[in-house]
Amino acid sequence: MPKPKSVKRNINPLVVALVYDGFCMFEFACAAEVFGLPRPELGANWYRFETCSVGGRSVHGQYGLKVIPDGGLDRLAAADTIIIPGWSGVDVSVPAAIIKALRAAHSRGARLLSICSGSFVLAAAGLLEGKTATTHWRYADALQRGYPGIRVDPDVLYVDEGQVLTSAGSAAGLDLCLHLVRRDHGSETANNVARRLVIPPHRDGGQAQFVQHPVQKRERSSLSPLMDFMRSRLDQTFTLAELARMAAMSERTFIRRFKQATAATPADWLTGVRVERARELLENSLHSIDSIAEQTGLGTAATLRHHFRRRLGTSPTAYRSRFA
Q: Which residues are catalytic?
A: 116
* Residues with Cβ within 8 Å of residue 213, at least 6 apart in sequence: 259, 260, 263
Cβ pair 97, 73 in contact under 8 A: yes
The dihedrals phi and psi of 164, each to the nearest 5 degrees, come to -120, 130
Of the candidates 87, 97, 101, 107, the residue with the CA atom closest to the CA atom of residue 2: 107
DSSP sequence for 151-173: EE-TTSSEEE-SSEEEE-STTHH
In sequence order, what E strands does the chain have? 14-18, 48-52, 59-60, 66-67, 81-85, 111-115, 132-133, 151-152, 158-160, 164-167
Q: Within 13 Å of residue 189, how many CA atoms lie on the same side as its CB?
A: 24
Q: Within 13 Å of residue 155, how many CA atoms lie on the same side as its CB?
A: 1
* Residues with Cβ within 8 Å of residue 162, at least 6 apart in sequence: none
Pairing of strands 59-60, 66-67: antiparallel
Cβ pair 98, 121 in contact under 8 A: yes
Query: Mapping DSSP to helix (H, G, I), strand (E, B) and coil, where does residue 280 land?
Result: helix
Of the candidates 9, 8, 184, 20, the residue with the CA atom closest to the CA atom of residue 102: 20
Provide the 10 A C-beta neighbour count for residue 33: 15
Cβ pair 62, 24 in contact under 8 A: yes
Provide the 10 A C-beta neighbour count for residue 148: 10
